[in-house]
Amino acid sequence: MSGDAAKDGAPGPIRRICIVGGGTAGWIAAAVLAHQYQGMIEVDLVESDDIGTVGVGESTIPPFLQLLAGLGVSESEFVMATQASFKLGIGFEDWGGPGHRYFHPFGTIGQMANARDFYQIWLRAAAGGEAPPLLAFAPAHAMAEAGKFMLPFKAPDTPIAGASYALHVDAKRVARFLRGFAEERGVTRHEGIVTEVATRPDGFVDRVILNDGRSIAVDFFIDCSGFRALLIGKTLGVGYTDWSHWLLCDRAVAVQTENVGPPPPYTLAVAQPAGWRWRIPLQHRTGNGHVYSSAHMSEDEATALLLDQVVGETVTNPLPLRFTSGVRERGWDKNVLSLGLASGFIEPLESTAIHLVYRGMEYFLRFLPGTDCAPELADEYNRRVTADYEEIRDFVILHYCLTGRRDTAFWRACVDMELPPSLAQRIALFRINGTIPEHVDPLFRSVSWQALMDGLGVRPRAYHPAIDRVAAGEVNRELGAMADALAGFVATLPAHEAFLARHCPAPAP
């Protein structure tokens, strides 16, 4: 190993890391390492132009912007380079039946001094029939519905200050952008395919051997080889926990279309007979896809249904994809860390795939080991990452199990399934008085669960008794004024398309 050892025999620091696989996952890992450990850790990345990447996950969530900020990347330059548009949340159509709509907004709901109490106050007013709908108080939803956009931090002390946002991006352009960023900071890219992995007597990976005979031996490896899981799965034999009995969708077909009309500032998810359909608008085109259960629909049927519903001329051929929702039993084992599809996958309903990559890197650097890769550090990493996957799993299952749809075999199976105990407990607590437990470093805060529960028709039986300390009449008047102020302010904002054109227009593709 190339790491230096102390005189007393203690493990030395990691000096060289090899990332196997490129794409979004590989280049996020490379960019983060290059930025934080330039001159300290040498980074190699192996990828082949002959191996395609999935590259259809084109929607992010707000923490993605923290990654860009942490790298010191200009947000506007990134938006232009990746043909991105802004995303204020996800709109859901037909999930409770034809014509049913709800929305998962990013950011806050309500503006009261104690934000944690807002939902409880709204519950009391709603119980008396004196409150506007819950989402009338969500600034991200108000902007999305009106097709408007403004950076919330540019409008402090206004009704939209509590909104958050993310990006719709071209995944291949993201990888290209991050590759340039990483290579400028010393990352070495090796064109080639890993054909052999050599291990040491203690089971650690020693080196990878490429198809042209080159050998790369380093202290630590990051497996970004996608569903192949070349290092973590095939070499180290780490198993995979299959969640497909809860997340029934295991196939997707994706296609890109020309834009028709201005791009709305949100992702659209439309329920289908055996799954759902996405629409992700970018500046230069729109990404479309159909996520479905192969037990309830064939690939030909799913493709035909997608092509029948997309708007605009197709600019690519339909791309079929297969996946199994679940998580690696150990995302970090010995001297191999897995990221992206090699680590796990949860169907893309809440756009969490890219998030889990940089979340994994964040945890890994928090527990950065020496060359011995102390198992205690790996254990804590695996505990935290698995908790993240389980939280996202439960949040995604919630969309399916509470729909009430029973019009097809797929939806009946979703409604009738036995839930994970952790999710069943969350729903039970919420039904009592809106209680939502939050864990360490949660991804989905209380407002996300509240928006989903409300959108799917779940209303707690009571509100928290402490709310009775607040005078009802005065608060009800304040709620009405708050909703009116938000709607009035949003009406003054520029259209999403106009904001893009003025501040971060993408060059012609």
Active site residue 87: yes
Q: Measuring CA to CA, how many Å separate 166 from each of 267, 358, 418, 442?
A: 10, 15, 33, 17
**Per the annotation, does 7 bind a ligand?**
no
Q: How many angstroms separate the CA atoms of 315 and 281, rounded?
A: 14
Confirm whether residue 234 is marked as ligand binding. no
Specify the 3-state DSSP secondary structure of 228: helix
Q: What DSSP character marks residue 483?
A: H
135 is in an annotated binding site: no
Closest-CA residue to 273 (of 241, 243, 305): 305
Look up residue 133 and give its two tokens: 């709908």
List, in order, residues 6 or more apart from 454 with CB less than 8 Å away.
102, 134, 135
443 is in an annotated binding site: no
CA angle 188, 194, 198 (to 5 degrees): 105
What is the distance in angstroms between the CA of the first residue and the CA of the last residue of the chain?
45
Nearest to 218 by CA among 17, 38, 33, 368: 17
Other CB atoms within 10 A of residue 90 CB: 25
Residues 6+ apart with CB under 8 A from 52: none
Catalytic residue among 7, 87, 148, 154: 87
The answer to whether 345 and 323 are in contact (CB under 8 A) is yes
Name residue, tokens 């796990």.
Answer: 344
Find out whether 193 is annotated in a ligand binding site.
no
350: annotated binding-site residue?
yes
Longest Cα–Cα distance in the chain: 78
Is 354 known to sit in a ligand binding site?
yes
SS3 of residue 428 by DSSP? helix
Look up residue 294 and give its two tokens: 């192969």
Say which DSSP state 230 is in: I
Cα gap 61→175, rounded to integer Å: 17
From residue 210, alpha-carbon distances to 207, 228, 247, 256, 492 in Å are 10, 16, 36, 34, 58
The residue assigned the tokens 């009571």 is 462
DSSP reduced 3-state for 289: strand
DSSP letter at 59 equals B
Asked if residue 70 belongs to a known ligand binding site, the reply is no
Residue 231 among known ligand-binding residues: no
Query: What gap in Å lies between CA 277 and CA 269, rounded to an integer?
Result: 6
Residues designated catalytic: 87
Question: What residue numbers does the annotated binding site for 7-chloro-L-tryptophan cover?
Answer: 87
Question: What residue numbers does the annotated binding site cover?
Answer: 22-25, 87, 194, 341, 350, 354
Question: What residue numbers does the annotated binding site for FAD cover?
Answer: 22-25, 194, 341, 350, 354
